[in-house]
Homo-oligomer: A and B are copies of this chain.
Amino acid sequence: MTIFVPHKQNLTLFEKHRGTIETAINAVHQRIYYAAFPEMPSPAVYGENAEADQKQKFEAQLGNQFSRLKQNSDRWQVSSEQSPYTLKPLGISYPVFNDAAEYVKCSQAAWDEWKQTDAETRAGILVESLDRLKSSFYELAFATMHTTGQSYMMSFQASGPHAGDRALEAIALGYQELKRFPAKFTWEKPAGKVTLKLEKYITSVPKGVSLAIGCATFPTWNSVPGIYASLITGNPVISKPHPKAVYPIALVIAHIQEVLAENGFSPNLALLAVDTDEKLLTKELAENPNVKIIDFTGSSSFGHYIENLPGKCTFTEKAGVNSVIIDSVANLQAMAQNVAFSACLYSGQMCTAPQNIFVPKDGITVGSEKISFEDVKKAIVEAFEGIINHPKMGPAVLAALQSEMTHKRVMEANLLGGKVLLETKPLPNSEFPEARTAGPVIIELPASDHKIYARELFGPIVFIVATENTEESVKLAASIAQEHGSISCGAYTTDENKMKMIAERMAYAGTPVSFNLTGGIYVNQHAGFSDFHVTGGNPAGNACFTDPEFVLKRFTRSSVRINLN
């Protein structure tokens, strides 16, 4: 017999995507390079007219109702979205419910059949939704660009292929954990003259309504892992985007709803809950007793509030203060260019962007030569200038500032203290003359000015900190990570023992370290299927994309034993 009969089982989509799921599970466990979604906006891959068609779609969407959602709401709300490139409101309206309780009620009502279907049915539907999302990657890029201020290329890659890979990774790990133990087995225990015999069943029990609170800088990349992890493990999801970055995740949710509905499940299993700057819905949703799981990306203070809500299972990514430790290098310019690019990329608005560059005050060795602190500084500042002043690369790398607050922070950075090595300056963008931009600021500080640099100054603000020696650099980087959180750490050393020391110290401070990056690979980039993103081991967040905990905490296991004697 069968206990726990799957409801609305549908193996067609699972069979269609079985190869992808199996490859993804293997990649996650081998952690070798794998990309289910090619990262370049190539016509050969994504369609000859895809870019032009979707650009048109994007333009037509501006100022209009986003009517692609299938959730049953008849009230329309114009969002607070505004393009950092044009400073104009997007003017898109989304269907909304009356209050948080209505979203939660609607989510719960949709839950039953999803809860009781099997891992295959869920995985098939979810991978299909990603497959469909591919057909919106260009529109997603424009939507991301004009909400976050990212460059077009980053918008395409981060919101499309890279987010898709991260979502697939969550599905793969969730699927593997759901299938980890046998669903049915026989247990026989010898007991003297008789053998006790039980038929046993194990099933997974999803925890309940899941809330995904998005951020304004990476509206899909940071949200889809939690959304897909909750869905694969059987939980309905309410996606509550940042009021300033709704459109990108609305596209994701629309595709999920579409595939759910086509396969006989309620589209309300993935709801979009749009609020505005004037009337935020987040706390009301988060505090609803029927919301059991919360994924959050955003500020440390709000993250702390989320983590301390009683009775919730939370996954947070908050702020990080990231360090670069420079001990010794093979090539000064190569290091300086790599660090400068990492800090300039999207004007330092990546959670992995470096902020503090620790350099020994007596200088470093470059190959076999000793180079002074002044020369290291100079090389770094020049590398920044090289990017900023490059007429084509500059605007593409630095892109735009997502918020007015970040702009203000940069403009006032020269008042922070220390010696300003590079002033902010206007960054003209020929395509978007109104773009909200500001060139990066570099400030030199002594190690003793801890209170200035040991906190996150989100945006293109970089400190070069003179330390006694590399020992002190590491000590500072580790203590900042442990006290304030870090998500990345770059380190340059040609000394194997120092490499080991830095690796250990930073690992125990919950921070991944990238050594000696030069050329086309940067500390900011955490690759799906291979790199864990945020460890959960320091205050930067309590969760990790995607370790097994990230999916396991979303369900429990329950079992049945039937006497066969």
A residues contacting B by CB (< 8 A) are 1, 3-5, 29-33, 115-116, 177, 180-182, 185-189, 191, 194, 196, 198, 200-203, 205, 207, 308, 310, 496, 499-500, 503-504, 506-508, 510-521, 527, 530-532, 535-537, 544, 547-549, 552-553, 556-563, 565
- A309 CB to nearest chain B CB (Å): 11
C-alpha spacing A194/B521, complex, angstroms: 11
26 contacts between A and B (CB under 8 A): A5-B500, A29-B181, A31-B181, A31-B187, A32-B185, A115-B508, A200-B530, A205-B537, A507-B558, A507-B559, A511-B558, A512-B558, A512-B560, A514-B560, A514-B561, A515-B562, A515-B563, A516-B563, A518-B563, A519-B565, A532-B557, A532-B558, A535-B556, A537-B556, A547-B557, A549-B552
Nearest B residue to A561 by beta-carbon distance? B514
- A530 CB to nearest chain B CB (Å): 5
List chain B residues, Cβ under 8 A from A515.
Answer: 560-563
- A96 CB to nearest chain B CB (Å): 30
C-alpha spacing A154/B314, complex, angstroms: 40
Contact (Cβ within 8 A) B202 A31: yes
List chain B residues, Cβ under 8 A from A559.
Answer: 507, 512-513, 531-532
**Given that A3-B500, A31-B182, A205-B510 are known contacts, is A544 also in contact with B557, CB under 8 Å in the complex?**
yes
- A232 CB to nearest chain B CB (Å): 16
List chain B residues, Cβ under 8 A from A30.
Answer: 182, 185
C-alpha spacing A210/B310, complex, angstroms: 22
Most chain B CB inside 10 Å of its own CB: which residue of A1, A507, A513, A532: A507
C-alpha spacing A308/B510, complex, angstroms: 24
**Given that A33-B188, A185-B30, A520-B191 are known contacts, is A531 also in contact with B561, CB under 8 Å in the complex?**
yes
List chain B residues, Cβ under 8 A from A198.
Answer: 521
**Given that A31-B185, A510-B205, A563-B516 are known contacts, is A558 also in contact with B537, CB under 8 Å in the complex?**
yes
Contact (Cβ within 8 A) B531 A558: no
List chain B residues, Cβ under 8 A from A536.
Answer: 556
Contact (Cβ within 8 A) B308 A116: no
List chain B residues, Cβ under 8 A from A532.
Answer: 202, 557-559
Contact (Cβ within 8 A) B535 A557: yes
Contact (Cβ within 8 A) B513 A560: yes
List chain B residues, Cβ under 8 A from A203.
Answer: 507
